[in-house]
Structure formats: structure tokens, C-alpha cells
Amino acid sequence: MRIDVITAFPPLFQGPLSESILKRAQEGRYAEIVVHDLRAYAHDKHRTLDDSPYGGGAGMILKPEPLFECIEKLQSERPYDKVILTTPAGKVYDQNMCKRLSMHDNLIIICGHYKGVDQRVIDALVTMEISIGDYVLTGGELAAAVIIDSVVRLIPGVIGDGESLLTDSFMEGELDCPYYTRPPEFRGMPVPEDLLSGDHKRVNAWRSKAARKLTRDRRPDLMAGQEDEPAHEKKKRK
């Protein structure tokens, strides 16, 4: 998969893209992530990217010309499956959107900034607007980094232990269960006996029950409309 990110602040991506799984995914050629400096597409003396909104009001709006030029250049080089804009006005991001995005070959992500983006960019070029939650960030860069991180880790091969993905929270419509590691007792707090039993059936039964309880307690909205069968039991048959 190739992801082209268009931003007025490329350095914001240095950290997230250069560590851990995202770093390995790029080194292993599972993902090619190209960050484009929008300023390179502003041709006036001051390399202006934003301007005040017609009609007045506070805040600045990203101008259409640099974004059109950058996106049209990319689109002339390869076909893109989606042109995404990160914005609080977008569809609220979830694991299902993430799964679908991870199946594409080429994505563009435009990082919204300042007060917004000239609407003509959205009308003519953007095919998907995504919000990462009901709060306002200073810009779309962190939202884009969240989307990239969550999408890239789903590309087959990126996470060595594919099984681990299957038990992620949200993958089966519920939260993942709690986990413990050594030691079996720490400061008077024991690990649940079923997990120490070495009996896979007992372990799975404990996990299913714990995952369902956690989901019921914390996120009952996820359970609405679901059949009774718990996620860990469904998985066993696959």
C-alpha cells in the first residue's frame, strides 16, 4: 500500500513514522508513506498557504491552488482509491472504516489545518472526510497519523503474529479481554487461575467471559444487535 500525506507541517510525521511497527512496515515494503510539503506547491513570494474567509470571521482557510496542484500531480502519476481529508466534520473513524481502508492500494490523506479548507477542494477532489473523534485538534496531522498507524498495522505481514490482530478490540464487535504476564502473583494480586491452567478451553472460556463483561460494562453500545455467541468462541471454528 502507498499513502501520500499532504501537509503544511511535514516534521509532525517524523516521530510517528520512524519508530516501531510503522518503521518496520516501511522497511519491509509493506507500506510506502510519502509526506508532501504543501508549501512546495505555493508559488507566491511568501509561499502562502492560507487566507481569510470570504464573509469575514476568525481563522484562516487553506487556499485551493496548492492543494489542487499537489493532488492533480499525484493523480497523474497513479490512480488513487481514496482522497481523504481529516476534519472534525468527517465521518467518525472506527475499526470498520480502518479495515476497509487497509484493503486499498493507494490513498491520499490531506491534513486539514487552520480554520478549514476551501470548500472547492472538498467538492472537486476529496472522496472521504474523516474525523477521529468529537473534539478539535490544532490540525489534521495527528488525525492522519492515527489513521496511518491503524491502517498499516492491518496490512497482512506487518504484524508478524496475525492471530494477535484477530483478538484486537473491535475486531469482533467487542473489547478485547484483560491480559496478564509473569509473575503469577505480584504484590498480593494473583493472575486468574483459569489463565494459569494450561487448558486452552478454560483459557478461552475465561477470555470470552471477561471480554463480554468488559464490553457490557464499558461499551454496551458495541453489543447492541449482536447475537449472544462470544467472540473468542466464534474464532475457534474458523
Scanning 38-46, 53-61, 81-89, 174-182 for contacts with ligand ADE by CB under 6 A, the matching segment is 81-89
CB of 87 to ligand ADE, least distance (A): 5
Assess 132 for contact with ligand ADE (CB under 6 A): yes
C-alpha 55/C-alpha 5 separation (Å) is 30
Q: Cβ closer to ligand ADE: 93 or 206?
A: 93
CA distances from 217 to 129, 173, 176, 238 (A): 31, 14, 13, 28
Assess 137 for contact with ligand ADE (CB under 6 A): yes
Q: Which residue is nearest to ligand ADE (CB)?
A: 143
129: three-class secondary structure by DSSP: strand
Q: Which of 131, 150, 208, 215 binds ligand ADE (CB under 6 A)?
A: 131
Scanning 10-18, 46-54, 127-135, 223-231 for contacts with ligand ADE by CB under 6 A, the matching segment is 127-135
C-alpha 31/C-alpha 34 separation (Å) is 10
Q: Cβ closer to ligand ADE: 62 or 159?
A: 62
CB of 161 to ligand ADE, least distance (A): 30
C-alpha 30/C-alpha 33 separation (Å) is 10
Q: Which residues pair with 185 in a beta bridge?
A: 190
Distance of CA 77 to the CA centre of its chain: 25
Residue with cell 504484524: 159
CB of 53 to ligand ADE, least distance (A): 17
* DSSP tag of 5: E
Assess 121 for contact with ligand ADE (CB under 6 A): no
Q: Which of 143, 152, 177, 231 binds ligand ADE (CB under 6 A)?
A: 143
C-alpha 2/C-alpha 10 separation (Å) is 17
* DSSP tag of 1: -
Q: Which of 71, 84, 87, 126 binds ligand ADE (CB under 6 A)?
A: 87
Q: Cβ closer to ligand ADE: 54 or 135?
A: 135
Taking a C-beta distance cutoff of 8 angstroms, is the pair 141, 111 a contact?
yes
Instruction: Return left, alpha or beta for 29; rule: phi > 0 is left, psi -120 to 50 is alpha, else beta.
Output: left
Q: Cβ closer to ligand ADE: 34 or 92?
A: 92
Residues that bind ligand ADE (CB under 6 A): 86-88, 112, 131-133, 135-137, 140, 143
